[in-house]
Copies of this chain bind each other. A is one copy, B any other.
Amino acid sequence: MSEAFLFSLLDLTGTFVFALSGAIAARQRNLDLFGIAAVAFIVACGGGIVRDLCIGAIPPTGLSDWRYMGVSILAVLTALGAYPLVQRLAYPVRFFDGIGMGFFAVAGAHKALHYGHGAEPAILLGVVTAVGGGVMRDVLLNRIPLILQREIYASAALLGASVEVLGERLGWSVQWLPWAGILLSSGIRQLSLRYHWQLPTFAGRRRGQGPSG
């Protein structure tokens, strides 16, 4: 499996699960068919487009490569056609969100390095790729972004992107390095959801605010 193919695969897999998470959230908010497709595409490609603008990849891949649009449409059809199946996962939006986050953190960091940028922007842009789409989804659906409230999210993305960047700098095998980063970040995310791991908050009023939405 060539390196380019591997990262294309990671990116398209992340695109699919993010689009799925976006389509489900939009469906639950009673948006219409086009609104669902638009939110799915924005969740899937929004973070990557911002990353591409920041690294000078013009035009952004999400716009110029038809596969991203194709995969997004496939995810919308899945969310609409196989909804009962999708719904069985207790928190489907969060679940797919957490998977896509890991894929995007690693693929985003790799792409920034590939364009010749340093370790710090690569890690930050991995995080932007991973959380950008989800933040846009929540902003569009008019709620405080999950990632600012659900604690182990951006931090998990940061971890995955850092593993990828560090590993590439140390010359580790590209065959398993991305999977390690993905497993680490997505795994921590899912575990934190399951066991309610939290980072501390510091507000004066101690009553916890419930999850938005």
Q: Contact residues of A with B, CB < 8 Å?
A: 26-36, 38-39, 49, 53-56, 58-60, 63-64, 66, 69, 80, 83, 112, 117-118, 120-121, 124-125, 135, 139-145, 147-149, 151, 153-155, 198-205, 208-209, 212
B66 in contact with A200 (CB, 8 Å): no
A117 in contact with B148 (CB, 8 Å): no
Contacts of A54 in B (CB 8 A): 49, 53, 58-60, 63
Q: Copies of this chain, how many?
A: 3
Whole-angstrom distance between the alpha carbons of A28 and B49 in the complex? 31
Whole-angstrom distance between the alpha carbons of A205 and B28 in the complex? 8
Q: Which 10 A-B pairs have the closest CB atoms?
A: A35-B148, A30-B203, A56-B58, A32-B199, A33-B199, A63-B121, A32-B151, A64-B121, A32-B201, A142-B144
